[in-house]
Copies of this chain bind each other. A is one copy, B any other.
Amino acid sequence: MSGRALLHLLLAGLLALVAGHGDRQPKPLPLPASLFTGRNGIQQTSCSGGFSARKAVDFDGQAPYILRFQEVLTNLGGWSATESDFQAPCTGAYFFTFHAVSTDGGDFTVALMKEGKYQVTAYGSVADYQHGSNSALLFLNAGEKVNLEVQQGILYEHPYDEAYTTFSGFLVEQF
């Protein structure tokens, strides 16, 4: 086996170790990885990572708590429905955006967290059903996790078919 082929196998194995456990695999389209020439000039295993989750799980306990979602709209890989967090399947820059609505009369702050470290806040005001959202482009090493944390207040989610709370992210550039 050539050195390059061995490298490919090792990279693929590493990726499988990082992304291949739990419920993080891309459900709708489990495609085999291919090779591409990365920005560093050597061939790499290409990577797919991204998700959209919708509808906040009702939780009227004491903040701070992890914001959990009822439904997975899309999973290209990395999102865990049971953990309600995203684990980077490969090292790169990822874009995240999230939206929520406050209850009638209460406000909220929801924070984007990377490996437990604060990034940005969405604030929804105390008037009735106020929208709050925020976004960030983050550098993640393979295996690092991102989630949302309700740091204060509670959220309003539609009791039936509509989805007001969402959390989406995807790989922008692989390193």
Tell me the A residues contacting B by CB distance below 8 Å: 28-29, 31-41, 46, 48, 50-52, 54, 73-74, 76, 93, 95, 97, 99, 101, 107, 109, 111, 118-139, 158, 161-164, 166, 168-173, 175
Contact = CB atoms under 8 A, between A and B. Distances in A.
Contact of A162 (B101, B121, B166, B171): B121
Contact of A28 (B74, B127, B129, B139): B139
Nearest to A101: B123
A97 to B, nearest CB: 5
Contacts of A93: 50, 74, 76, 170
A123 B127 contact: no
Contacts of A37: 34-36
Given A40-B32, A166-B134, A158 B95 contact: no
B32 A168 contact: no
B131 A124 contact: yes
Copies assembled:
3
A161 to B, nearest CB: 7
Contacts of A131: 122-125, 130-133
Given A31-B175, A161-B118, A170-B172, A130 B130 contact: yes
A168 B50 contact: no
A46 B50 contact: no
A119 B55 CA distance: 11
Contacts of A129: 107, 123, 125
B158 A121 contact: yes
Contacts of A119: 54, 73, 163
